[in-house]
Structure 1
Amino acid sequence: MASTLDQFATREFYSVVIGGTALAGIAGFINAVSLAGVYAATVAHVTGNVTKAGMALAAGNFTTFGIMGGIIGAFTCGSFVSGFVIDSTKFQLGSRYGLLLMVESLALFMSCGLRNLEMLTGELVAAFACGLQNAIATNYSGAVVRTTHMTGICTDIGIVLGQAASRNPRTETWKLKVLVPLLAGFFGGSMAGSLCYQGMGPLSMLIPAGAVGAIGVFYLTWKPARKAREVLVTAVKKVQNEIESGIRTVATPIMDFAKHHTPTLMRSPSGTIIATGVAAAAGAAAGVTAPERSLQHPIPSPSTPTEVLAKTRAKEELERKIDRVKENIQLQSSPEDVMPLTGNDKFELGDGNEDDDN
């Protein structure tokens, strides 16, 4: 298949699924509460209201026709406001979505407070809120996203399943990951709305109003909070770099100074010779452990200039005496003139002025 279920496994994709499912659940909750008794009519089910309006007009019941027509018009006005503010069918997380959701929350609170008025203002405001919500996200990568009515959702699910059954290679089965959660969310919201109305009565409409407001606050603060976090992380990294640069600036001269000076030597507990003093201080400032040197290679003690001069003179004197001995040997005319040495004779190096008879 060209499109798989995992093709759109991104953060944005799951944001659409989670947000859309939450809004579908809220729409189901509102529809169930309004149908159960607050208004005794649906404010999100436009198809049914259009049918009721046609039946009322055919029967000459202009009052019912006016009520249904007003609900349909309010729903359309809500969609108009949403399209005017967002100005795009592409889903994008941003503050505009948060603003529209806050308006919807306010409208739901108003509908709850205006439910006892004779002009059916509460119904109209609730329908306006549902129309505004349904138009917030109309399309995501080709998948139509509706959160307040399920006719189109069920139609799209059936189309995708039919194409998959026919083994169409271009079937976009990934859409099921959007459409099925929307249907499940609306169903669950309808159950929750019915149960809450049995326990709370008309005040149960405050629950979806508060939930939509919370989602709106999240949309309004998500991007600014993310940008603030990025700015904070950048500032922290900048401070860390400045601190490290300052440490290097201070430690480099100390290390250079330590390289040109002999450090104090001491024996460590492990039996090695370690550098302390200036070199150790420089290493600690730079975060470097003091270098160690094994005792198997002891450091020779330095010789003074006087000792070096004395050794040089002694070596030169010895070389001169050896040369004189070689000269005396070469003066002998023949081997017979050379007296063999006995065990009692002693050979000493002289100054080169000894007599030949000796």
Structure 2
Amino acid sequence: MISNILCFASGFVNALAIIDMGMTVSHQTGNTSHTGRLIMNGGIKFFHLMLSFACGSFVSGFTKCDQEAIYQGRYSPNLLASAFAVVLGCFVHYCKSESGIANDDASECLFLWAFSQGIQNGITRRCSSLPVCTTHFTGYLTDFGVGLGLWARAQADGAEPPTLLKVFLFGSGIFFFGLGGVAAMETHPAWGAQAALIPAAIMAAVAGGLIPVIKPGAKSA
């Protein structure tokens, strides 16, 4: 459940970046292609987002973040830092808007949001039981398709089918990320980029261990 909540928050932030400033901050595959094709003609703005995301992941690694904290309902300072980066991005966006400065596709707000997404995914990818992506899903789509294909082949051959638990996990992550996009579309007309304060609050709640988690029961002696 926690991973789905973070997928929703990431999808929310990323969609707001697309709607408001025309750039993606949570997944960097497209930004890599744009950097290459526009390397001599403005591609640096895409590279800046890639670098910001990587810097966020660097922070998660350098601080040796507790990768299990968010799944155990414990305080996660790294995820809280990720939430604060989103808030700071909103603050920068607001100040520029109030000063009459455009928040375009090179806005500093985007760098902060990409940085926050790098921190978040850096945490979830280090989960010991299964590396979990909460900010991008090309790999999840691959694993979803492969898992479903293996299950279908086993059914056709009359063999014991593999479990679909991972398929459901991958599918639910993709669904909730998309749901974040719906939320962004519904809130942006009224609140603009400041709607990102909503996913930031959600991330902060998870970071503070305020979201109930299901913990395995203790074994009896």
TM over 0.5: yes
The 5-angstrom pairing of residues 315-326 of structure 1 reads none
Give the 5 Å matches for 1:306-321.
Answer: none
Sequence identity percentage: 28
Instruction: Work out which of the two has the higher radius of gyration on C-alpha atoms and give 1 or 2.
Output: 1
Higher relative contact order (CA 8 A, sep 6+): 2
The two structures have a TM-score, normalised by structure 2, of 0.80
1:13-36 superposed Cα distances (whole Å, 9 cap, x missing partner): xxxxx1000000011101110100
Match of 1:188 in 2: 179
Matching of residues 115-126 of structure 1 within 5 Å: 115=93, 116=96, 120-126=107-113
Which deviations, in whole Å up to 9, do the C-alpha atoms of 1:186-228 show, x marking residues without a partner? Answer: 0111111111112211221211112211221226x989xx9xx
2:126/2:132 contact within 8 Å kept: yes
Amino acid at match of 1:32: A
Q: Does 1:51 align with 2:30?
A: no
The aligned runs of 1:1-358 (5 Å cut-off) are: 18-37=1-20, 39-57=21-39, 60-61=40-41, 64-86=42-64, 93=72, 95=74, 98-115=76-93, 116=96, 120-138=107-125, 143-167=130-154, 169=160, 171-218=162-209
Which 10-residue stretch deviates more, 133-142 or 64-73?
133-142
Residue in structure 1 matched with residue 219 of structure 2 by the alignment: none
Number of residue pairs the alignment of both structures matches: 200
Specify every segment of 5 or more residues in structure 1 that has no aligned partner in the other structure, as ranges: 1-17, 227-358
Q: Which runs of 5+ in 2 are unaligned?
A: 216-221
Question: Considering only aligned residues, what root-mean-square deviation do their CA atoms show, in Å?
Answer: 2.7
AA matched with 1:101: L
Where 1:147 maps in the other structure, the secondary structure is coil
Task: Tell me, yes or no, if the aligned pair for 2:66 and 2:76 is still in contact at 8 Å.
Answer: no
| CA-CA distance at 1:45 after TM superposition | 2.0
**Contact 1:143–1:175 under 8 Å retained in 2:** no
Distance 2:81 2:88 in 1: 10
Q: Partner letter of residue 33 of structure 2?
A: T
**TM-score when normalising by structure 1:** 0.51
